[in-house]
Amino acid sequence: MRILIALIVAVTGLWLSPEPPPTTVEEVPAPRFASIDDALRFISRKVDVPVGLPPLPDNAKLQSDNPVIVSRTRGVTTGYLYLTIGPRRPLILSYGVSGFDGCGGDDAREVDVNGQLGLLATSPGHRWSSIIWPANRETLEGRYGLSGGIGPDRALAWARAMDRAVTAPDRPATGC
């Protein structure tokens, strides 16, 4: 549980505040969701931003334990959707407040996500990429985030597709 809370603190950017406000975390067990769409519908009822999905490969599935986490930070509710692509590649989608874990944002480069400022950080060898948008360069936070074991080109393409899914006027709640 402490590792999970530490992850949420890192992802939500609480380390930026000298005295972080209270954060509540709601863990949702995997059996509650029959599908990715069910999990996304749950998140859509909890957060104050539109939700959607990029086009996912056929082998994308919910992470087996704790596929959804909902937290509240500085008055904003954020939903995290934890997926696995293939046998072991994680993919995390966030809706609400998104940030970089650790020092990942320090080297993030500016990218365009459908006319909005995005910040893209990659690990050495491009084995892990994280992108947030619309981004605030000063706080290293954005409204949406996508992070996982994918290269930077795919991360940017999926962020653009996810952004189109959440801004489409006639979008279904689940992005399908």
pLDDT per residue over 58-99, tens digit each?
A: 999 998 878 898 888 778 889 999 999 988 899 999 999 999
Contacts of 49 (CB under 8 A, 6+ apart): 95, 96, 143, 144, 166
DSSP letter string, the chain: -HHHHHHHHHHHTGGGSSSPPP-EEEEE-GGG-SSHHHHHHHHHHH-SS----PPPPTTEEE-SS--EEEEEETTEEEEEEEEEETTTEEEEEEEEEEE-STTGGGGPEEEEETTEEEEEEE-GGGS-EEEEEEEETTTTEEEEEEEESS-HHHHHHHHHHHHHHHH-TT--TT--
% of the chain with per-residue pLDDT over 90:
52
Say what the pLDDT of residue 3 is.
Answer: 43
pLDDT per residue over 27-67, tens digit each?
A: 554 447 889 999 999 999 999 999 999 999 999 999 887 88
pTM listed for this prediction: 0.79
